Amino acid sequence: MTGDIDDKPQPLIEHLMELRTRLIWSLVAFFVAFIACFAFAKHLFNYLVYPYKWAVEWAHLDLAKAELIYTAPQEFFFTQVKVAMFGALVISFPIIAAQIYKFVAPGLYKNERSAFLPFLIASPILFLMGAALVYFFFTPMVMWFFLKMQQTPAEGQVGIALLPKVSEYLSLIMTLVFSFGLVFQLPVITTLLARVGLLTSAWLAEKRKYAIVFAFIVAAVLTPPDPMSQIGLALPTILLYEVSIYAARLVERQRARQALEESDETSDVAKTDSV
C-alpha cells in the first residue's frame, strides 16, 4: 500500500510554494469571475428579484407598483459589488475546490483519492440544490409572508406598505442561500466522518431527538426572524439528517463487505501456502 501514495519527502518551503500556487490560481479564478459578474451585476440582481415578483403575484398585489428602493447614493453600487462577489464565489467554486484537491491529493493513497472525488462532485451539486430550493420556493414564500402584513388605507387606519431596500433584500436572499447550501452539505460531512470511523449510523439514530432540537436552533440563528423561513430551514435539515443516517449505513455495509473480501483473500492465501 505504501507504493500507492504519491507524496514524496519534501521540505516545508516546497509545500508552502505549492500552497501559494493553489491560492494564486483560486484568487485569479475568483477575480476573473468577479469582473465578469460585475459587468452584468444589474442583470444578475434583476434575476434575484424574480422571487419577489412571484411573491407579489401570490399576494394578489399590483406588480406595477412593486419596487425596491435605496436610501443612500452609494447603496445600490455596493449592492452590485456584493452581487458580483456572490456570483463570482458560485462560479469559481469548482476551480477553488479543484485547487484544494490538487494540493491534498499527493498525500492521499489511490483508494483514498477515489473515495474523496465523489464528495468533491456531490458538494457543489447539493449546494446548488439548496440554493434552488431557496430561489424557487422559500424566498417567494418569505416575501409573501411579509407582503401579507401590509395594511391598506381604510377609515380609521393609515396605509402601511412594504418598500424593501435593495441591500436588505440581497442580504435576505444571500443569507437564505448560504444557510440552505451549508445545511445541504450534511450528508457529505456525515458520510466522510463515517468513512473515517468517527460516526456510526447507530449513534446518529440514537441522537435523532437532539438533532431535531438543534436543527430548529440553527434555523433560528441562520434565518431571518420569521417562522416561515425558520421552519423552512429546519424541516429540510431534519430530512437531510435522515439521509445522513442512511448514507452512514451504506458506508458501514461497504466497509463490512470489504473486510469480508479481505478475510476471504487471506484465508485463500493461507490455504495455498499450506498446500
> Does any domain span residue 255?
yes
Average pLDDT over residues 45-63: 90
> Does any domain span residue 36?
yes
In this predicted structure, which of 42-51, 210-219, 223-232, 240-249 has the lowest mean pLDDT?
Answer: 223-232
Q: How many CB atoms lie within 10 A of CB 268?
A: 10
Query: Above 50 in pLDDT, residue 3?
Result: no
d(CA 132, CA 148): 24
Predicted pLDDT of residue 8: 52
Which pTM does this prediction carry? 0.77
d(CA 108, CA 100): 13
pLDDT digits (tens, 9 = 90+) for 152-166: 777 677 888 888 999
Owning domain of residue 184: 12-150+163-267
Task: Please count the structural domains in the chain.
Answer: 1
> Does any domain span residue 5?
no
> Does any domain span residue 89?
yes
| Cell numbers given for 103 | 494540493
d(CA 258, CA 265): 10
